[in-house]
Structure 1
Amino acid sequence: MLVKNFAFLLLVCPLVWATLLKDHSLAADTNSSLQGQVTSVSQLSDVKPTDWAFQSLQTLVERYACIAGYPDATYRGNRALSRYEFAAGLNACMNRISELIATGTNELVNREDLAVLQKLQTEFVTELATIRGRVDVLEARTATLEAQQFSTTTKLNAQIITAVSDSFGNSVGDDRDRSQTYFADRGRLNLESSFTGKDLLRVRLEFGNFLDSNGNSQIASVTGTGMTRLNFDTDSNNDLSIPHIRYYFPVSDSLAFIVGPTGIGYTDITDTVTPATIADDGNGVPSLFGSYSPLFRRGGGGAAVNWKLSDDLMLTLGYLADNPNFPSSNNGLFDGGYNTLAHLVYYGKQGAVGVAYSHGYGPGGRVNLTGGAGSNLAISPFGDNIATSSNIVGTQGYYRFSPHFQIHAWGGYIWANAESSGVSAISNGRGGTDSLSVNNGDHANAWFGAIGASFPDVGGKGNLPGILIGVPPHVSSSDIRKESENAYHIEAFYRWQLNDNISVTPGFWMILNPENNNNNDTQYVGLIRTTFDF
């Protein structure tokens, strides 16, 4: 059957035929009309419609339905065809008649047709041998690929990031620069399976060594602030884990669901509404704060729905629990930390804008309002041991002025409430903490924002220079402690796309008033990131 189907492709898909005819002596006979769709074997050259061979093959095709594709199973047209195209059609008829004989329907094949077929075979023996030789090679290659492929439903894609990085400037609350140049890596191996052609199951294997043995960012540990963190600084000791399992399945053209027991973030269920290259860990903005809005730095396990309200309007609703697979107190799917999201995005011809609302709750010991971005006080305004609820509203969007110039921006406001009472260690903005009393119902507010510009393909196809200026999360009012100054984040990077699989990105950013305190020295971070995508 493969030979038969391949012969048909040769006959009706001339671009495939031209690819096969790499030998100049075979390709020389290809008519210029082969650049378009061939609707009849008679559109080719060398064997004319008046030739006995043409008329004989036409009779065989019409009698035995050798070649599918014509509504009435007949040849049409009045132009000639190449000897090799003719041989392809002849080969299809030979296979068809052989099938009829093999299945016991040989009474349908009369002796006269067999005689004609034998005469045609003798006349075109050279061309048939060439075609069959090429088909045999392709069949062998196909069998090899089928034997060696990973899975019929699963493919592997991976991203390996390596980075040489360092920071400069006295550490927060210190009079010395404790940072050293370091070299670290992160790897993600994604096994992606589709069972219907529209759904997608992703299981991720991950390793890296950007974190210390306590699970803290190494660069943040020595600088004293999370404002210096890299976007991809995860994992420690290069231990292999499965941090992410996600299944996406549509139920209609306008409705799709996403579920996963672990490692599902807001970025896995909705669009960050910045250009795609900006939100990619390995190819976009290299800093943690600069990559996308802190509102979207929520994760866990749960479910979400994407509802396409119209061609240009998308609504996402999601629920993510911190530890959905731990059936103990303050854990589990509904008894523990969680985050819920409602995000409405409007897509225009040259950009998009979204409005998001997130509500969350963090039990004592697991409070993180900003996903690690911003000051320590903004991360846990009542201290980490005080259960905290939060409401965040944010807007984000981008606009492409031209194929080589686009801007993006985002901002948000946080309302936080203490959900328990006690004495808590509250960040003092100088690398230490103070013990302060917190009452159930105490309030704190924070805000953040950024604007950036990027220049796709400037300096070469696939390249991406970019700049960004922003204000990391800042506690502007609080019943416990607020921050009087703003930190400022200023960043520049240049992604140099070496080829489809490798990019190199020099990046640099500076933090004025780290930890939202002007008594701290300015921090400077530089890195060279190399990303391998395959």
Structure 2
Amino acid sequence: MLNYSSHNLLLKAVILGATLLSSTSAYAEDNNLVKINAIAASPLTKSQVIAQAVVVPGANNMSQVNSVSQLSDVQPNDWAFQSLQYLVERYGCIAGYPNGTYRGNSPMTRYEFAAGLNACLSRVNELIVTGTSDLVTKEDLARLQSLQEEFSPELTTLRGRVDSLEAHTAELEANQFSTTTRLFGEAIFVITNAFQGSVNNSNTVFQDRVRLVLKTSFTGKDTLNTRLSTGNTTTLELPDGTAEGLQTFNLAPSNNNLSVDWLSYYFPIGNKIDAYIGAVNGVFFDFVPTLSPYLDSGTGGSRALTEFASSSPIYRIGGGGGGGINYRFSNKLVLSLGYLAGSHASPQTDRGLFNGQYSALAQLAWNPNNNSGIGLTYVNAYQNRGAIFDLGSGFTLVGTSQANTSFERTITNSYGVEAFYKFSPRFAVNGFFGYTNAKNLAGSGSADIWYYALELAFPDLGKQGNLGGLVVGAEPYRGGNSSPANDLSLHLEGFYKYRLTDNIAITPGVIWITAPGQNDDNKDAVIGTIRTTFLF
């Protein structure tokens, strides 16, 4: 057992300081190093062993302090105050947590004590070598020797682990892909079919999409994303050319061709601004909060099945090259501004970064707490080719053909409100409402386009990592007396993501589109899907 006599200032000073300094020692490189197989002893607390100056090593979460007054939870009337003060003044080897606390009642093990003792020995040796040996008395050294003998088995074990860790680390460094870049991957296998409502009596198909993302950081705070994609997905054809029910995995190069389909750069500007540059296929939901915390995975394969269910269609008006910022007034209030051009790379007339198709967004998002949020969004856009809701590609992602291709050249003003509320960790409600006014620049006339949805999310349904979802709403449709019909088309979707492992999930689901193409004469479309997603 440890001796808790109050006069052991060496243990108060040197051992504690060294243990805390283990945050900068080899032991600190593995936060769990001293916890593995720590079966030997009953846990102590910092306060109980402060006379020995032992604390739980802070790993990567500790920082040097120069005065005991910097530790907000240590008071002059604490019984260990003088010991802590002694550490700072005599040995300069005490550290605290980043929030300025010491956490004197945190538990520790004998292995953790041994780790601190070993680091303390290094600190004493440093003081001797640097000519400050007068700080280390013979009494101090005698007590250190006694402790070293008592904890010799633990020290030997720890040194062996560190040697193994250093060898393993050296091997990883010698064979690592890059010092600045990490590789992430997603592979999707899908079996899907439109059981009714397809114009070509489609058969059941098996399709795939693979994405590899290289994430590079040059400063530790920035991220350059380079995504390589391939796949053989083909969209199911519904009546009147409608894009309703389009699934997220459908966005992929055809015939398993490989291409760089996303290139973006994120970086901070000061403490309040997060900036974004989209060089290839930039989209607003790359950086703008969509207030759909459980269903939105962008165009990924981890959450909702369809583009419509992921988040409001207002974020899919335009795209391409450009950038934007998020300005944080506070942790609760964020202003987002963005500009993207669909034909940014072309020098031709009516093209380019500023003379061709573009979309400009402004959004104010308020999150009063972690369980709720609301956003107000405005988008001004110009389309001279393709669809309105197209991410700048000309390929329709959501909505009916009447809503997307109202006119040859169009200027649009769109207004949206998005919100969510988490009733509990296992139940949340999302919702959005949007209106777009499209004006004909090639003639006269305008069109009113509407879209809205109510969405229920069930995180961890049946098992941690699972997700259930129910969606009912209307994809973008043209109101008024549009041709050939102006019937209301509804989107209903249900899915259940079952996580087999941390890296594999299977998501069966059904998508039901009533009156596809805004036409009650068209048979309802019912699409069944089984999606398997591999993350690596």
Please say if 1:150 is aligned against 2:177. Answer: yes
Letter in 1 for 2:291: V
Alignment of 1:322 with 2:342, yes or no, is: yes
Contact 1:194 1:201 in 2 (8 A): yes
Amino acid at match of 1:464: L
The Cα of 1:361 is off from its aligned counterpart by 0.9
* Equivalent residues of 2:188, 2:209 under 8 A apart: yes
User: For 2:329, what is the secondary structure of its paired residue?
Assistant: strand
Partner of residue 245, structure 1: 263
Q: Which letter does structure 2 place at the counterpart of 1:9? A: S
The CA distance in 2 between the partners of 1:246 and 1:135, in whole Å, is: 39
User: In 1, distance between residues paired with 2:238 and 2:109?
Assistant: 73
Deviation at 1:108, TM superposition (A): 9.0
Amino acid at match of 1:498: L
C-alpha separation in 2, matches of 1:330 and 1:527: 41
Whether 1:441 and 2:444 are equivalent positions in the alignment is: yes
Task: State the SS of the aligned residue for 1:360.
Answer: strand
Counterpart amino acid of residue 251 in structure 2:
T
Count of aligned positions: 470
Give the deviation of 1:116 after TM superposition.
7.5
TM-score (norm 1): 0.76
Matched residue, 1:255:
273
Compute the displacement of 1:83 (Å): 8.9
Deviation of the 1:32 alpha carbon: 1.9
Contact conserved, 1:6 with 1:135, CA < 8 A, in 2? no
- Classify 1:95/1:418 alpha carbon distance in 2 versus 1 (closer, same or farther; 3 Å): same
What's the offset of the Cα at 1:70? Answer: 7.0
Q: Is the 8 A contact 2:35 2:111 kept in 1?
A: no
Shift in Å, 1:509: 1.5
| Correspondence for 2:230 | 207
- The answer to whether the Cα contact below 8 Å between 1:67 and 1:93 also exists between their aligned partners in 2 is no
Write the distance in 2 (CA, Å) between the matches of 1:462 and 1:121.
46
**Which entry has the higher C-alpha Rg, 1 or 2?**
1
Q: Do the aligned residues in 2 keep the contact of 1:313 with 1:344 (CA within 8 Å)?
A: yes
Deviation at 1:318, TM superposition (A): 0.7
Deviation at 1:524, TM superposition (A): 0.7
Task: In structure 2, list runs of 5 or more residues that go unmatched.
Answer: 1-16, 56-82, 97-103, 391-395
Structure 1 pair 459–35 and aligned structure 2 pair: CA distance change class (3 A): farther
Name the amino acid aligned to 2:355: D
Counterpart in 2 of 1:436? none
Contact conserved, 1:228 with 1:511, CA < 8 A, in 2?
Answer: yes
Residue 294 of structure 2 is aligned to residue 276 of structure 1: yes
Q: What is the one-letter code of the residue matched to 2:250?
A: D
2:402 is matched with which residue?
377
Query: How big is the shift at 1:258?
Result: 1.1
Q: Which amino acid aligns with 1:401?
A: F
SS in 1 for 2:480: strand
What is the root-mean-square deviation of aligned Cα atoms in Å?
Answer: 4.0
State how far apart, in whole Å, the 1-side matches of 2:110 and 2:429 are.
Answer: 58
Residue 450 of structure 1 corresponds to: 453
Could you tell me which residue of structure 2 aligns to residue 497 of structure 1?
A: 499
Q: Residue 504 of structure 1 aligns to which amino acid in structure 2?
A: I
Matches within 5 A, 1:455-494: 455-477=458-480, 481=483, 483-494=485-496
Equivalent position to 1:342, from 337, 340, 362: 362
Stretches of structure 1 lacking an aligned partner (at least 5 in a row): 45-57, 72-76, 212-217, 421-439
Identity between Structure 1 and Structure 2 (%): 35
- Contact 2:34–2:115 (8 Å) recurs in 1: no
1:192 and 2:215 aligned: yes
Match for residue 506 of structure 1 among 508, 511, 527? 508
Q: Which residue of 2 aligns with 1:214?
A: none
Report if aligned partners of 1:418, 1:443 keep a CA contact under 8 Å in 2. Answer: yes
What pairs with 1:46-445 in structure 2 (closer than 5 Å)?
Answer: 68-69=93-94, 91-92=118-119, 95=122, 129-172=156-199, 177-211=200-234, 218-220=235-237, 224-235=241-252, 236-280=254-298, 281-297=300-316, 298-349=318-369, 350-363=371-384, 365-369=385-389, 371-382=396-407, 386-420=408-442, 440-445=443-448
Please give the per-residue CA displacement for 1:472-524, whole angstroms capped at 9, x wherever unaligned.
2221136x847321111121111112232221111102111110011111111
Question: How does the TM-score come out when normalised to structure 2?
Answer: 0.76
Which of 512, 515, 518 is residue 516 of structure 1 equivalent to? 518
Q: Classify 1:419/1:532 alpha carbon distance in 2 versus 1 (closer, same or farther; 3 Å).
A: same
